[in-house]
Structure 1
Amino acid sequence: MLVSQSKFKLILAVFFVSLFFVLPLSYLVAVREIGTDTENYRYSFYLFKEYGYISNEMGVYFFAWLTLLLGGGEELYFWFLFLFLIFLLNLNYFGFFSSFSVNSQSDNLFYLFYLVFLGLYFFSTWFHVVSLSVLRHGIALLLLYYSIFHFLKGDAFKFILIFCMAALFHVSVVLFLPFIFMINRSSTLFYFVFSLAAILYPLGVIEGFVELFSSVTGIPLYSKIVSYSEENLRYYGFDYRYYVYTLFWAVFGFLVFKLFPSDDEGGAHEKVLKVYCSLAMMLFVFGFASFSNRYGLFSWLFLPILQVLLIERVVRTQYILHFISFFLFLMGIASYLLFILQ
């Protein structure tokens, strides 16, 4: 693989991006005054610091403990969390692109698409949300994606280990476990189940199935979902905007991979599309109560990984790719900077 053949260039590229872009942004993130959950994280850090009280999943408290060990405060705590998010982004890119891209053996294209990848993430509203507000959810999802990568590579030990790490940051990722095993099913069966879920979700049928499942098994899944912030009716249940947005990328990705042939051997691109579709089913199956968008986030945060492969499939001229890569990267950084400074 390219990652093992060009480690020096790889480290150099990451170092350059980190030194000139990520580290300055990380400082601004650490001292931020925005993010709907920022005060909640500050308060939980205070409770842990003063009383050793743990109110959330254990994973995030490793960074609180490390911060206190170094004698730091909440700014250092947020700094560590942001850098860990960026670290996970890098792991996912180097994992998915080196294994599922037809251009992974080209040093030049590998780094051009790296800029595209970072630009898409920094431009993404969903990355804004997870890096400045729902931090535990964002870290858990990026760990989940990396565990899926190892699942697709057939490395059961790393898959289980990283999946468990993801659950330490946000236990909701456990709900995705049944969908993981759908990815390796035949395309006919997979897309049939996906289409069925997409059709039944707006009709409200799947909610009934989940309620019946909970009733028969005694597992309080349905009650846990409907009782989450039940006094708050924001983003409640089916929302046609989230539904269309989620479904669009599945259909668009399918059409691009069919209409633009490539040297993709073994259906590598299709596997990534199936990962996105399986993540999208989280919204279709569990998005029937308050804050249904938290289930949509499972697939939305994955989008830049899929979009990089879509651009790779469509853009064949290197001059255009050079322009797109630098344009998206700079626009992404500018967008994120403006969001922080607003």
Structure 2
Amino acid sequence: MNSKTGRAIFALGNTADPNCWSGIPYHFYSECQKQNFANIPGQIDLEIFQRSRLVWNFFRKLRGHPRGGYQYSEKFLDAVEQQIPPAILAQEIISFNQTFPRARTVQRAGGKISYYIDATLAALTSGRGLEMNLPKDIREQVLQLEQENYRLAERVIAMGTWTAESLVRECGVDPTKVHTVLPGANLDLPENWVPKAPSGRAGVDRPFVLGFVGKDWKRKGLPIVIEVRDRLAARGWKVQVQAAGEAPAELTQRDGVRFVGFIDKRTQADLFLRFLESCDVGCLFSAREALGISTLEFLRVGIPVAGYAIEGPADTLPEEAGFRFALTEGPLQIADRFEAYLQSEAKQHSKQTAAQHRSESVRWARCVREFKELWTR
């Protein structure tokens, strides 16, 4: 990590590596470089902490404490901050991590820090469903540190409205410090790419394809999507679920389900693009969800989206380009809405056109432009 003058982008990992935190810091940093907003990648080596983590957990167990939470411990944070050159700490940092680097560490070095987060740790450890199972003593330390970081930060930028509300309500952040900027889709389209025009009438001439992306298949609602498919098929519609990620055989081998397995977006970008384009609606029926990156990816290629409009997805499910459902609505109500959609070519054209128009607005280029505008205030 060099120490040239500029603005640095940090996460727990190497922000110049597409594998860091699902590629979000990488895409943000890459666009920051293009727009001359930041030019220093945070390059943190986490491999060297494997032994320290084991030793730390061993001694916690000896003292009668539950294991877990090493990455939030003072021992870890002290050590990992040593990897940041003092010259970079003395400049300006934007971090994707709620607790790293600590705001007090940056301030002591003469620098400034802002945080760009998908969710607060207060929300993630609240027991409301987005579970981070931390030992009680560690959770108390984490929440104190989170509040301190935000109090000392220049700005705290939320990726969604619900996180901005949590920052004020649960973390006590001054509302004037809190801002909301939707991230971009982690998808680089070919330069000559144009939205793919649907062929034939969905559900009649060809299957109506419900797309699903996710490793956490249960939380993200794959069983709901499959049940919706079954209900529509029972009504005489041609419907297929197309899923990428992970799922048990009892789901992947169901009638009407095409399971393609895990697709590496970095090394199989063309395959992932073809997968997205082959769907009619991208689905994310999570009861708890920090953001909803898959919905942004579907919108990026002009595909309408559907899901529960709560927490993060409340910002990634545009009404004009998709279907917003309440948690109280189950497969029956969802199937009813989809059937009405299939019965109206005008509705299909309207949502498809709106999704295509949304494509440009879910790019990282738009996200960084909003950051640059925010930094001028």
TM-score by length of 2: 0.24
Normalized against structure 1, the TM-score is what?
Answer: 0.26
Asked which structure has the greater RCO (Cα within 8 Å, sep 6+), the reply is 1
Tell which structure's C-alpha radius of gyration is larger. Answer: 2
